[in-house]
A and B are shown apart, each in its own frame.
Chain A
Amino acid sequence: MYELAYNPTSKLSKLLKNISIDYANFDFINEFFIAQTTRKAVDIYASSDNSHIIFEVKTDRVDEKALQQALYYKDLLLQRLGAKGIESSVYVQIIGKRFSNKLIDLIKKLNILKTQIYLIEYIPIEENKWAIFNYVCRK
């Protein structure tokens, strides 16, 4: 959150090499209610003019249930965007410490349909005050 707020260029350009983001119009919000009637809150939602990023953050191991949840949020966001939305402009980032092999396999297959799902592993450092972020699989 701190990096997104104070240094998005360095953090996001490193993580999201394939996404073109207009940082002048970049903003983010945490605990974002994506559809009021469903009472579903996305952990972090970030957007610029043409890109939307859903961050689903888990504290430890991530499995396919997190993927199902994130894709549901993605559908709710697409519905919210309506005709203005383009599926390829909505990115899903699932952050966790560890990932199940099944999840990695599912994402590799789904990304053949250009579903734009990314897994990011975080490694806590400096007594859990900070973290290093690495991509787990991109395709």
Chain B
Amino acid sequence: MYVENKIKHPCPLKALKTDPYSLGIFNKKVDFILEPIEYNEVDRCLILAKSINGIVSYILIFEVELLNEVNLDLIYKNFTKFVLELREGNFREAELLIICKEISSSAKEIISTYNQTYIYRPPIKIVINEYS
């Protein structure tokens, strides 16, 4: 229940903002039309709108160096705030993706647990950035 992709890029959020399909994380055939709607350089967060047959859902992408329990909790808090305020509590219409250079084993376990218990929500996805 824990899946991670790997990329190698100095500024992945900027690259995704310019072209969401550029890093190979998203696929035009699967993710259809992706459009960047908000980018926060300070919080290192990018929001993409995903349109499939007129239905719009959102992908929240956060970038951190090391993903551990503490910043996972903070990211999750921001994610739930977004879903409750802007998607009126519909967690099925929002995906969370975290780009990090390293991930702690406890954060991995929490994400894996989340993905196997919240079965009606899209899973939390992890992308490891191997750029150093």
Contacts and interface: CB of A to CB of B under 8 A. Distances in A.
Contacts of B113: 106, 109-110
Query: Main SS of chain A's interface residues?
Result: helix
Contacts of B121: 75
Given A87-B84, A112-B69, A114-B73, A79 B89 contact: yes
Give the interface residue-count category, chain A: 20 to 34
A86 B117 CA distance: 20
Contacts of B91: 75, 78-79
A110 B124 CA distance: 13
Interface string B86-127: 001111100000000000001001100110111111000000
B89 A78 contact: yes
Q: Which of A64, A110, A112 has the most CB of B within 10 A?
A: A112
7 contacts: A82-B84, A83-B89, A85-B89, A106-B117, A109-B109, A109-B110, A114-B77
Given A68-B119, A78-B89, A106-B116, 9 more contacts: A71-B120, A78-B91, A79-B90, A79-B91, A83-B89, A85-B84, A112-B106, A113-B73, A113-B76
